[in-house]
Chain A
Amino acid sequence: MTEVYVAGLGIISAIGTSVNETLSSFEQHRTGIDDIRFLDTIYRGQLPVAEVKLSNDQLSALSGLPENVSRTALLSTVAAKEAWVDAGIGSPSKFRTGFISANSVGGMDKSENFFIDFLKDAGSGDLNDVKHHECGSITELTADSLGISDHISTISTACSSSANAIFMAARLIKHNLLDVVVAGGCDSMAKFTLNGFNTLQILDEEHCKPFDENRRGLNLGEGAGYVVLVSEKVVQQLHKKPYCKLSGYNNANDAYHQTASSPDGTGSYLAMKGALEKAGLQPEDIDYINLHGTGTQNNDHAESTAISRLFSSKVPKMSSTKSFTGHTLGASGAIEAVLSVLAIEKEIIYPNANHTTTMKEFGYTPVKVFLKNQQVKHVLSNSFGFGGNCSSLIFSKI
């Protein structure tokens, strides 16, 4: 079976609309968490979020899609186009090319608008606002704008969705069913999710503090991330060297509770352990863990317990970049995959913002400042979600 390489990257989040902007935000320690500017909600001024700092009009101009489509599709298309251009492949028709995306609530930002009129009168509400309600419909808007049609798929496993999309893409290449896959995910801010997480009482009213003893919850974010995965055969035909390999991946289920993680982090442990086995690596080979690190009591406890169990006393450098991007849900696995690849490429490690107090039960402190000139050969990226869906990816230097 062929190895799977990363040939292109695209990212948009609260800290930038491109790879370069994103990197400079980390370097300057500029987080994207702020008061709500774009989402029309009663929580404006109360709950901080990590919005992309562009209106739908501006995103429409960047993406080439009409401004009245779901913000999720706009974000998705901006990042997917950046990734495609970066890979330098040219026309998708040169290879068997697929597009696998992920999101958690499809075109919900428009559906919730539709519902305001629809609930008054079932015959009213603009049908254009529900046309793209389905998760898959968002994927198609981006796939169509890239001109990709050989394989189209969408995965939705809550906060691990886009890690699973990247995982599936790699397997389709390994099985020689596709040569090139643009894989990742997207989600935009929606009242549905903001209120949903708020009812669970896991939103921090201040800036989130992942892996901190005094963490109080997460900040929601929005964005999209994509990697262009290619086979060895395609690498030989490209003009540039690929960034790295996707060497390991695994998916496991916590099977503990619909929303909460088990205290011993079974799902997280199995996901990380399986990914290491798949990559043929030992725990000590990992140079950096991009944590799922939401900032909730429950997640960070489960994840740190699983890390302690797997890495025992040799815990690698780690950080939760959600302290910059917020928790972007269906996009988070892909956004963090892009960051993991860049950590290898640029030899950097990202800071974990707002961290002051080491977790007592864990005893390890995440990286707090931007680190340059690091030896980063293997990066583990964690994505865990509702429904116990846990996935880990490992990227390795070539």
Chain B
Amino acid sequence: MKIYIRATESISPQLSFGNEGLLADLQVYEANRLSCLEPDYKSLIDPKQIRRMSRVIKMGVASALGCLKKADVEVPDAIITGTAYGCLEDTSSFLTKLVNQNEEMLTPTAFIQSTHNTIGAQIALLLKCHNYNNTYVHRGFSFENALLDAILLLKEQSAENVLVGGVDELTDTSFQILNRFGFFKQAFTNELYNAPSKGSIAGEGASFVLLANQPGNNDNAVLEAVSTFYKPATIEESQEKINRFLLDNDLSPNDIDVVITGRNGDETNDVVYDQLMSGMFRNKTEVCFKHLCGEYPTASSFALWMAASIIKKQKVDKKLIHHGEDVIPQRILIYNHSQGIHHSLMLISGC
């Protein structure tokens, strides 16, 4: 059974929202953190509702509604969200008041909106959608686990279409804390991969896809497979897992035209990609995405948005090619890992 990517939408540090995705006007930054370029929400969400929503909820809901509109689906059969951090702004707001006011005189709004399922719940609430609704919160697997759930629902015939998204926000507080772990550095985004050193650039985003188990008139691509692997001990083990994934899908590295890698400019992070691109995927075209959206646990959802648009346009914009030839992309492999712990593979091809 084929799974079709009927539509995609993304709010990111790029001009992605409402665009078909080839990033004609790439945004270049010199920064250690990238923030989303947010659309005018008033045209998408009732202004009365907007006032009550925190930024991540607005981004998630707007991206989801934008995706449904493009897919011409009013109410999806399921809504599945992946978010590693959940609603950080509301969480830290409630936590700050709790500490500063010594647990007294607190109000419920921030607490109510702090739960990880708030985005999925708000989408359901706005659509009056009583269907299947789930939220995955497993760090660098959050989006992939959400996709896996969606694929199973479609295969079970429990749903004909499923809205799936990856959403994470970066707040001043989360940036301050993550930065103390030494994850980030100041860099030019267009030079991020030139001289890997310690650290990457922090990012955020909200990217949704509408998956369907029947072809439509204007599908973007086919999602062939998704897989994850956890804490591989060595690079060889990662290579074995990738080979096994391709074999399970009756493919060899030669069947892949473009590899989208999760390179992020960190010297340790990028070693596995260097080895793959000079080994198993030698002579293959490599496209990167984290100089566009920054590093965050559900960044792979932005990569899927990008891959779907590349397949649909049958063209890789030259500006996106990190290494290799200009090819007509028939099949894309996305390989991403988060901190060397969470590795994921997604296979996307033409309809």
Contact = CB atoms under 8 A, between A and B. Distances in A.
Given A118-B177, A267-B130, A175 B152 contact: yes
Interface stretch (A55-63, A194-202, A353-361): A194-202
Contact of A134 (B94, B137, B149): B137
Interface in B86-137: 86, 91-92, 94-96, 98-100, 102-104, 106-108, 111-118, 120-122, 124-125, 127-137
A119 to B, nearest CB: 6
Interface of B: 79, 84-86, 91-92, 94-96, 98-100, 102-104, 106-108, 111-118, 120-122, 124-125, 127-139, 141-142, 145, 149, 152, 155-156, 176-177, 180-181, 228, 230-231, 341
B136 A153 contact: yes
Contacts of A111: 95
Contact of A389 (B86, B91, B117): B117
B95 A386 contact: no
Q: 6 nearest interchain CB pairs?
A: A387-B121, A196-B111, A136-B138, A156-B116, A136-B139, A199-B108
Interface stretch (A30-38, A203-211, A251-259, A372-380): A251-259
Contacts of B129: 253, 255
Contacts of B115: 104, 156, 158, 386-387
A134 B85 contact: yes
Given A42-B104, A115-B99, A192-B98, A171 B156 contact: yes
A2 interface: no
Contacts of A267: 130
Interface of B is mostly: mixed
Contacts of A254: 130
Contact of A116 (B99, B137, B149): B99
Contacts of B125: 255-258, 388
A119 B108 contact: no
Given A258-B113, A387-B121, A175 B136 contact: no
A386 B121 contact: yes
B100 A119 contact: yes
A29 interface: no
A255 B100 CA distance: 34
Given A127-B180, A191-B103, A270 B130 contact: yes
B94 A253 contact: no
Contacts of A41: 103
Nearest to A266: B130
Interface of A: 41-43, 104, 111-112, 115-116, 118-119, 122-123, 127, 130, 134-137, 139-140, 143, 149-158, 164, 168, 171-172, 175, 191-192, 195-196, 198-200, 251-259, 266-267, 270, 385-389
A195 B111 contact: yes
A164 B176 CA distance: 33
Contacts, number: 172
A387 B135 CA distance: 11
Contacts of B155: 175
29 contacts: A42-B104, A112-B98, A112-B99, A115-B96, A127-B181, A135-B137, A137-B139, A152-B230, A153-B145, A155-B137, A156-B136, A157-B116, A157-B133, A157-B135, A168-B134, A171-B149, A175-B155, A195-B103, A196-B111, A199-B106, A200-B108, A251-B132, A255-B127, A255-B129, A386-B112, A386-B121, A387-B115, A388-B121, A389-B135
Interface hub of A150, A155, A156 (most chain B Cβ within 10 A): A156
Contact of B117 (A122, A154, A386): A386
Contact of A153 (B79, B100, B130, B138): B138
Contact of A156 (B98, B135, B231): B135
Contacts of A270: 130
Contacts of A196: 94, 108, 111-112, 114
A135 B138 CA distance: 7
Contacts of A150: 230
Contact of B116 (A135, A139, A168, A199): A135
A41 B98 CA distance: 11
B118 A258 contact: yes
A228 B9 CA distance: 38
A42 B106 contact: no
Contact of B133 (A253, A257, A258): A253
Contacts of B116: 104, 135, 156-157
Contacts of A134: 84-85, 137, 139
A323 to B, nearest CB: 24
Contacts of A135: 86, 116, 137-138
Nearest to A114: B177
Nearest to A148: B230
A121 B73 CA distance: 48
A253 B121 contact: yes
B122 A258 contact: yes
Nearest to A103: B137
A150 to B, nearest CB: 8
